[in-house]
């Protein structure tokens, strides 16, 4: 066997296992989901195989009445818009909290940075379900916050902090905040502080130095952190289910409902394909944006 053949065989053996895993665990399930989304619904659960129909995708904007007429409906678009709004709000809040936190961590002595990173990642050691239940205890009518405010005499009746969009936003921010802090910290850790000192020498104030030196150099981390927060938030299921009390549906909850109580697998699969398309568009935008961010940081 020639050297070229040996190298080709080695490449196949090295790439083959990963290729098989990707095909079996990603391509095949996605293809099956796409195929289910164009099948007819079986009202007992599942699908009627072989009966191709676009009804699942038509249902995004139209609903069929009892007299078999079709009318325009924006119910599902409202849920999608709510998902985008909560995800964007969570990303903005995480950025507002995460950037100062990451900057503080990056400017500490090196011996303390590992401890601070450990403290940021510490919530990941606890199950997400347990963390959301802890927020129920904090936000409920007789929970920690309302109990403290009543004890201080600030309020006479409990504030409605649970089972609404506020509670969902709090839970999502708490759950995904480390995904914002860590990428920004990675960018700021490489920051040459002499550049900031040079800005001060050129009579730049703190805000001007932050805007013209620190922020541009940390932009790759900000973009990566925003993507890592926004995209998982968009498909979040546990937090809206528990903290929203079933009143604040997001795309993930709607998909779970279609495969569960509604028994509409094609529509659930179509929602999954829509969510996947949105995430792929976001990843494509990030991939196109990343080179320019790297050039800016260079």
Structure tokens belonging to residue 198: 């040079």
* Tokens 């006479």 found at: 156
Distance CA 154, CA 145 (A): 11
292 has a pLDDT exceeding 80: no
The angle formed by the CA atoms of residues 71, 73 and 75, to the nearest 5 degrees, is: 155
Strands 40-41 and 47-48: antiparallel
Q: How confident is the model at residue 245 (pLDDT cuts 50, 70, 90)?
A: confident
Which one has a higher pLDDT value, 172 or 51?
172
Closest CA to 59 of 41, 78, 72, 40: 72
The pLDDT assigned to 177 comes to: 94
Distance CA 173, CA 205 (A): 31
pTM confidence score: 0.84
Q: Among 33-37, 48-52, 202-206, 290-294, name the most confident range.
A: 33-37
The pLDDT assigned to 278 comes to: 84
The pLDDT assigned to 93 comes to: 96
Which one has a higher pLDDT value, 234 or 45?
234
Q: What CATH number labels 75-297?
A: 1.10.3720.10
Average pLDDT of every residue of the chain: 86
Q: How confident is the model at residue 266 (pLDDT cuts 50, 70, 90)?
A: very high
Which one has a higher pLDDT value, 16 or 67?
16
Distance CA 226, CA 94 (A): 8
The pLDDT assigned to 148 comes to: 92
Structure tokens belonging to residue 273: 């394909």
Q: Which residues contact 156 (CB under 8 A, 6 or more apart)?
A: 150
In the predicted model, what is the mean pLDDT of residues 176-183? Answer: 94
Q: How confident is the model at residue 32 (pLDDT cuts 50, 70, 90)?
A: very high
The pLDDT assigned to 233 comes to: 92
- Domain spans of the chain? 75-297
DSSP label at residue 39:
S
Distance CA 61, CA 255 (A): 16
pLDDT tens by residue, 198-237: 887 787 888 888 888 888 888 989 988 998 999 889 989 9
In the predicted model, what is the mean pLDDT of residues 84-104? Answer: 94
The pLDDT assigned to 297 comes to: 44
């Amino acid at each position: 066997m020639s050297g070229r053949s040996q190298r080709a065989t080695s490449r196949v053996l090295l790439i083959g296992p990963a290729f098989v895993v990707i095909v079996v665990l990603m391509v095949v399930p996605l293809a099956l989901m796409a195929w289910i989304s164009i099948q007819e619904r079986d009202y007992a659960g599942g699908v009627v195989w072989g009966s191709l129909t676009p009804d699942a995708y038509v249902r995004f904007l139209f609903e069929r009445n009892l007299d078999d007429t079709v009318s325009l409906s924006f119910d599902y678009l409202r849920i999608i818009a709510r998902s985008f709004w909560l995800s964007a709000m969570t990303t903005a809040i995480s950025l507002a909290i995460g950037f100062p936190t990451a900057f503080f961590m990056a400017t500490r002595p090196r011996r303390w940075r590992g401890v601070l990173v450990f403290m940021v990642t510490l919530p990941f050691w606890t199950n997400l379900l347990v963390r959301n239940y802890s927020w129920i205890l904090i936000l409920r009518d007789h929970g920690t916050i309302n109990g403290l405010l009543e004890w201080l005499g600030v309020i006479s009746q409990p504030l409605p902090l649970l089972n609404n969009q506020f509670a969902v936003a709090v839970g999502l921010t708490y759950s995904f905040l480390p995904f914002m802090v860590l990428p920004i910290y990675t960018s700021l850790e490489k920051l040459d502080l002499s550049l900031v000192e040079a800005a001060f020498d050129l009579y730049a104030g703190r805000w001007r130095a932050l805007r013209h030196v620190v922020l541009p150099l940390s932009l790759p981390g900000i973009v990566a952190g925003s993507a890592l927060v926004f995209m998982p938030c968009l498909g979040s299921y546990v937090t809206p289910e528990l903290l929203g009390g079933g009143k604040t549906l997001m795309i993930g909850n709607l998909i779970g409902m279609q495969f569960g109580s509604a028994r509409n697998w094609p529509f659930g699969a179509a929602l999954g394909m829509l969510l996947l398309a949105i995430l792929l568009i976001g990843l494509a935008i990030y991939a196109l944006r990343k080179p320019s961010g790297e050039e800016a940081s260079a």
